[in-house]
Amino acid sequence: MPKDGGIGASSKRREDIRFLSGTGQYTDDINLHGQAYAYFLRSDVAHGKINGIDTSAAEGMPGVLRVFTAKDFDGVGGIPCGWQITSIDGQPMQEPKHPILAEGKVRHVGDPIAVVVAESLAQARDAAEAIMPDIEDLPAVMDMKAAVQEGAPKVHDDLTSNLCYDWGFVEDNREAVDQAIKDAAHVTTLELVNNRMVANPMEPRVAVGDYAAHSGESTLYTTSQNPHVIRLLMGAFVLGIPEHKLRVVAPDVGGGFGTKIFHYAEEAFCTFAAKQLRRPVKWTSSRSEAFMSDAHGRDHVTKIELALDADNNFTALRTETYANMGAYLSTFAPSVPTWLHGTLMAGNYKTPLIYVNVKAVFTNTVPVDAYRGAGRPEATFQLERVVDKAARELGVDPIALRRQNFITEFPYATPVAVEYDTGDYHATMDKVLEVSDHAGFEARAAESKKNGKLRGYGIAHYIEACGIAPSNLVGQLGARAGLYESATVRVNATGGIVVMTGSHSHGQGHETTFAQVISEMIGIDADQVEIVHGDTARTPMGMGTYGSRSIAVGGSAMVRAAEKIINKAKKIAAHLMEASEGDIELKDGAFTVAGTDKSVAWGDVTLAAYVPHNYPLEDIEPGLEETAFYDPANFTYPSGGYACEVEVDEETGRVEVMGFTAADDFGNVINPMIVEGQVHGGLAQGIGQALWENCAYDEDGQLISASYMDYAMPRSTDLPMFKVDHSCVTPCTHNPLGVKGCGEAGAIGSPPAVINAVIDALHRGGYDVPHINMPASPDRVWAAMQGAKANMGAAQPAARSTDTAEGRSV
């Protein structure tokens, strides 16, 4: 019988009451007395030299308080990058300055040139139109492969080239991999594009800066997934404000998907301007602005080669990837195509030799950084596509080929530097085949054929690394931060509990799940537990939420703090009951002495802690509040089997998703309903990438998919009822809850399942199409059926001037 509380219960999300009743407190709901409004004038061109900016007319416009340009930021630092990658030749990556406002050049459409702060937003916007920037067009750097050629125009004139880094991993394996590929019985090669994505959280970014002259304290309210990280980066590196004089609040945040991890210029600007003007300054992104200022995701061009022996065992894997960084390095951009991608190239398979090469390239586009899955979707897509292609080339069943090469013994050390602690890939494969009714597929395909449709079944099996991460490891890998998590558990005198977590909830439901864990541990009702997050003044230094790390790392910190609480409370209870501490048990909110009927309630112990009249003051301090920092020993490794069934309309190339099944192993699950919801959301985004979503630029660097007229988001009617299973459980071995994380899996496993299904459908219809790049829009599928090659021409898949319709989602 399902539980109705605690770990494993599908408790309803308590935060939804305020979200669904319009009483949430989002950043844009914050309006401070005397607030002024900022409007950013952004570049219309992808690349240009700034000869001058005439702000005189704008300064005289009604309501204008001040117009800012780059020259107003003397002594202010650039936006820092949080991860340094070292190239094959031992050199650190090239790291250009990222100013708050464009200095000397504009480098992408949307690059901020000037900001007007005025009494009203309308006045600020009107005045921005009166600013006259004199910008001389320069040729836009768009195609990654062309950008790294000798003599290509440079995005940053002070760098030696547009190559940010050239990374080889594991360099010691390179020769052995080359040899194994030479010696292979069969090599399958695939070149593909992982299309550029725009994250599109429902809530656009917002920043409100405030300065308290009486205390000298600055406060930033912002739409962030990690307020402490913003405080550290902005305070220490950009504005030079000590952390004790800077508070960052990320209240209710309406979705992040990675793009709200990073520190953005607008945050630093509002904080800076508020102090300059002695007025609160607010900026709210419009949706159009979000398209050209939120960090984008993906945008890799990859060649992957899989070597097999005569018995179809994988013997080696070699990849070469061009990863688009955009015009500047966003906060964690360098880590995404490297450590979050290269370390996952083993997938679920015991391939003994792997070599990954990644060239990160600057282009005149919006910066690219982590987007739901961040590196792992790119790794999974190429691997699961090349395995499928190999099966087709060898005439073997793609499921059998996967099973034959599955890792079955754990822990398993991959040749790409990570060690999987647990997993059972055959179990999730069995489960996905069962739940998706693989056995009944041929009958359904025959039925589709009767209706004139080609039906295809695609399978993908993924591994991902969550719970980032052991700080000493990521430090060696170039991270300029630790990746622990923190929690303070404060027990009030009357027994209620406040958990102040360094994790941040922006849709994940922490207020519900974290309370369930505490409720389970102590045996009190979840209503007695308050979860506080998102405010540096109220929570201990925490690293925030991304990489499916909250329950695995933040939850573990909370468990550790709660364990300290329980240990201390047991001492108090032992004193109250005049028993030995070792005999005290806590169950259902009461302390008992083993083997007796003595009992004292949770609330009596907590009261004693704050009213210590009868209390072991000689042994322990009064009060009941504990903090724990948890630094994980390893990543966690969720895995799963995904099956997609599609119908392709032979006449139009339109793909319809007929069924989608996800069988995940997330380890232990706290709230199955929330996990299911997370998987649903991930699947929608992954299927969206596979079939509809595409961020497109033209060859001049104009962003031509910058509204929902041209950027096709998945809609509920586009998607089937998902079948989601997480009954396969191999608990994580190194965190106290045995949890692995579930936030990104859906977006990681689904794109290859969809494309594999489309390719399967086409082959069943007699179309020998080896690959279709995402999004598999009707025109691409139809063109592929007519014998067209996959669109491999440009690094920017859609940057093809001669064909503006192709490469665009429909």
Partner 1 sequence: MELSGHRIIDAPREEVWAALLNPDVLKECVPGCQEMAGNPEDGFDATVVQKVGPVKATFKGKVHLNDMNAPESLTLEGEGKGGAAGFAKGGAKCVLTEEDGKTRLDYDVEAKVGGKLAQLGSRIIDGFAKKMADQFFEDFKAQVEGPGTESEPEMAGGEGGEPAKKKGWFGRGSAE
Chain positions contacting partner 1, by CB under 8 A? 44-45, 109, 125, 128-129, 288, 291-292, 698, 700, 702-704, 706-707, 709-710, 801-806, 808
**Residue 69 near residue 113, CB atoms below 8 Å:** yes
CB of 707 to partner 1, least distance (A): 5
Separation between Cα atoms, residue 459 and residue 432, nearest integer Å: 9
| Identity of the residue, 116 or 684, whose beta carbon is nearer to partner 1 in the bound complex | 116
Region at 541 (left for phi over 0; alpha for psi -120 to 50; beta for the rest): beta
Dihedral Cα 602, 604, 609, 615, nearest 10 deg:
-120
Query: Nearest approach, Cβ of 704 to partner 1 (angstroms)?
Result: 4
Distance (Å, whole) CA 401 – CA 216: 64
Q: How far is the CB of 109 from partner 1 (least distance, A)?
A: 7
3-state secondary structure 358-418: EEEEECCCCCECCCCCCCHHHHHHHHHHHHHHHHHHHCCCHHHHHHHHECCCCCEECCCCC
Q: Which is nearer to partner 1, 289 or 421 (CB)?
A: 289
Based on CB atoms, which residue is closest to partner 1, 327 or 483? 327
Minimum CB separation of residue 761 from partner 1 in Å reads 25
Burial of residue 215 (CB within 10 Å: 0-12, 13-18, 19+) is: exposed
**Backbone φ/ψ region at 623: left (φ over 0), alpha (ψ -120 to 50), beta:** left
The distance of closest approach from Cβ of residue 44 to partner 1 in the complex, given in angstroms and rounded to an integer, is 3
Asked if 61 contacts 123 with a C-beta cutoff of 8 angstroms, the reply is yes
Dihedral in degrees, nearest 10, Cα atoms 394, 781, 453, 449: -20
How many residues belong to the chain? 810
In the complex, the smallest distance separating the C-beta of residue 702 from partner 1, rounded to whole angstroms, is: 4
First-last CA distance in the chain: 46
Tally of CB atoms within 10 A around 242: 9
Comparison of 43 and 330: residue with beta carbon closer to partner 1: 43
Question: Is the Cβ of residue 338 or residue 809 nearer to partner 1 in the bound state?
Answer: 809
Q: Give how far Cα 528 sits from Cα of 4, 147, 570, 608, 609, Å.
A: 15, 58, 19, 18, 17
Q: Least distance (Å) from partner 1 to the CB of residue 506? A: 26
DSSP string, 531-557: EE-SBTTTS-S---S-TT-IIIIIHHH
Nearest distance in Å: CB 42, partner 1: 8
ω into residue 446 within 30 of 0, thus cis?
no
* Cis? peptide before 170, omega within 30° of 0: yes
Shortest Å distance, C-beta 147 to partner 1: 20
Q: Going by C-beta distance under 8 Å and a sequence separation of 6 or more, which residues neighbour residue 542?
A: 226, 228, 485, 486, 487, 501, 502, 503, 504, 554
Question: Please, which residue, 40 or 167, has the CB nearer to partner 1?
Answer: 40
Instruction: Give least dist CB 193 to partner 1, A.
Output: 19
Residue 733: CB minimum distance to partner 1, A: 49
Output 604 or 700, the one with its CB closest to partner 1: 700
Q: How far is the CB of 424 from partner 1 (least distance, A)?
A: 48
Q: Which is nearer to partner 1, 580 or 804 (CB)?
A: 804
Q: Which tokens sit at 52? A: 């001058």
476/802 with CB nearer partner 1: 802
Residue (42 or 402) nearer to partner 1, CB: 42
Pick the closer one to partner 1 by CB: 191 or 700. 700
How many Cα atoms occupy the beta-carbon half-sphere of 260 within 13 Å?
A: 32
Q: Would you call 716 exposed, middle or buried from its count of C-beta atoms within 10 A (0-12, 13-18, 19+)? A: exposed
User: Using CA atoms, how far apart are residues 186 and 639, in angstroms rounded to an integer?
Assistant: 27
Minimal distance, residue 197 CB to partner 1, in Å: 17
Whether the link from the prior residue into 797 is cis, omega within 30° of 0, is no
Residue position matching structure tokens 């240009």: 48
In the complex, what is the shortest distance from the CB of residue 43 to partner 1, in angstroms, rounded to a whole number?
A: 8
Residue 496's contacts (CB-CB under 8 Å, 6 or more residues apart) are 528, 529, 530
**Which residues pair with residue 466 across a beta bridge?**
636
Compare residues 44 and 217 and give the one whose CB is closer to partner 1: 44
CB-nearer residue toward partner 1: 125 or 444: 125
**Under DSSP, is residue 68 helix (H, G, I), strand (E, B) or coil?**
strand
Report in angstroms how near the CB of residue 200 gets to partner 1 at its nearest: 14
* Alpha carbons 728 and 740: distance in angstroms, whole number: 12
CB of 365 vs partner 1, minimal distance in Å: 13
CB 518 within 8 A of CB 474: no
**Do 170 and 416 meet the contact criterion of CB atoms below 8 Å apart?**
yes
Of the two residues 172 and 803, which places its CB atom closer to partner 1 in the complex? 803
Nearer to partner 1, 47 or 376 (CB): 47
> Looking at beta carbons only, is 481 or 798 nearer to partner 1?
798
Cis peptide before 411 (omega within 30 of 0): yes
Per-residue HEC secondary structure of 460-528 comes to EEEECCECCCCHHHHHHCCECCCCCEEEEEEECCCCCEEEEECCCCCCCCHHHHHHHHHHHHHCCCHHH
